[in-house]
């Protein structure tokens, strides 16, 4: 089959799904499928000064096409612009580009990408696979981002439409499946639960662990999104304020909207109620996720 995989970020960009998708597409090509990837230039972490990749390159027998996008973190306005611009450009490519048997996208950007790609895929007669790493707008509702009921209703309708146009909706767990069925019981026959596999490290040969062993410390590691929904400030506060945890080193590995608030030891944070101070009570954040 001819398959198109779409995601805002792709290897060597740093989000976990960027590497997961490379492993997925490599498996597809190993099984004889012709695979294209549509993504953007590496831009997830501007502080890394990501090297620009070719607009079209061949990787693992996969053709990767990259759209030039400004980094999201150059401002809120830019982030909102990219959330609309990338889905529109991708949908135009699906409509005007080569025909595919299967088109798959994930949830970055949320809601709008799935809505645009599912509509364009149907117009071209391709089967659409919706690979849901998160459930939107449910997450935004719980975190308070979508407090406006009109915005919430519109996003729900858009994502419901994307799920209904999908041949398969892939979720990560049974509770995600249950959440989608509460929203739309008619999806029961097309939802598949597939857990993510171990994150591949394509740079393993040239990388070293950022953490040296320390027998005098109990190291607690969190890996994943460092966002405001995770409540990591409560974990950090517990380690900082409890003298009985002086031997604990807390390591938070990942990216997210709350990262800067948690990593800066010199600025008091209202959400923490204390300073992240150096010393025996230490909170460290590693820029790039590693499997340790």
Return the pLDDT at 269: 42
Task: 81-85: list long-range contacts, CB under 8 Å, 24+ apart.
Answer: 82/8, 82/109, 83/109, 83/110, 83/112, 84/112
Tokens of 136: 């939107």
| Local structure of 120: helix, strand or coil | helix
> What CA–CA distance (Å, rounded) separates 13 from 15?
6
In sequence order, which residues have a C-beta less than 8 Å from that of residue 79 and are 6 or more positions away? 72, 73
How confident is the prediction for the chain on average, in pLDDT? 82
Confidence category of residue 169, pLDDT binned at 50, 70, 90: very high
| Local structure of 40: helix, strand or coil | strand
Residue-wise pLDDT for 189-199, tens only, equals: 999 999 998 87
Angle formed by the axes of helices 174-183 and 149-165, nearest 10°: 110
Q: Which CATH architecture has domain 209-286?
A: 3-Layer(aba) Sandwich (3.40)
Domain spans, the chain: 2-193, 209-286
Q: Among 3.40.309.10, 3.40.50.2000, 3.40.920.10, 3.30.565.10, what is the CATH number of 2-193?
A: 3.40.50.2000
Confidence category of residue 132, pLDDT binned at 50, 70, 90: very high
Q: Highest-confidence range of 24-38, 136-150, 221-235, by mean pLDDT?
A: 24-38
Angle formed by the axes of helices 112-123 and 149-165, nearest 10°: 40
């Amino acid at each position: 089959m001819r398959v198109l995989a779409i995601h805002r970020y792709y290897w060597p960009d740093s989000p976990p799904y960027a590497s997961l998708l490379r492993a997925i597409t490599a498996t597809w090509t190993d099984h004889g499928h012709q695979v294209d990837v549509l993504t953007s230039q590496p831009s997830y972490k501007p502080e890394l000064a990501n090297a620009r990749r070719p607009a079209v390159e061949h990787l693992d027998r996969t053709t990767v096409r990259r759209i030039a996008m400004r980094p999201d973190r150059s401002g809120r306005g830019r982030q909102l612009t990219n959330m609309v611009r990338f889905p529109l450009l991708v949908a135009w490519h699906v409509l005007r580009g080569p025909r595919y048997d299967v088109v798959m996208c994930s949830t970055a950007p949320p809601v709008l990408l799935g809505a645009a790609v599912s509509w364009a895929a149907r117009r071209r007669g391709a089967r659409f696979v919706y690979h849901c790493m998160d459930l939107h707008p449910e997450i935004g509702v719980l975190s308070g981002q979508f407090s406006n009921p009109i915005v919430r209703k519109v996003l729900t309708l858009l994502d419901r439409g994307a799920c209904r146009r999908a041949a398969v909706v892939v979720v990560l767990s049974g509770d995600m499946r249950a959440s989608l069925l509460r929203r739309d019981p008619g999806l029961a026959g097309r939802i598949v639960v597939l857990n993510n596999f171990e994150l591949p490290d394509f740079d393993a040969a040239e990388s070293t662990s950022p953490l040296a062993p320390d027998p005098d410390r109990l190291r607690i590691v969190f890996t994943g999104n460092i966002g405001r929904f995770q409540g990591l400030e409560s974990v950090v506060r517990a380690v900082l304020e409890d003298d009985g945890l002086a031997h604990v080193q807390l390591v938070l590995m990942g990216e997210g909207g709350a990262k800067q608030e948690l990593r800066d030891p010199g600025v008091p944070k209202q959400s923490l109620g204390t300073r992240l101070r150096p010393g025996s009570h230490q909170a460290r954040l590693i820029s790039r996720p590693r499997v340790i």
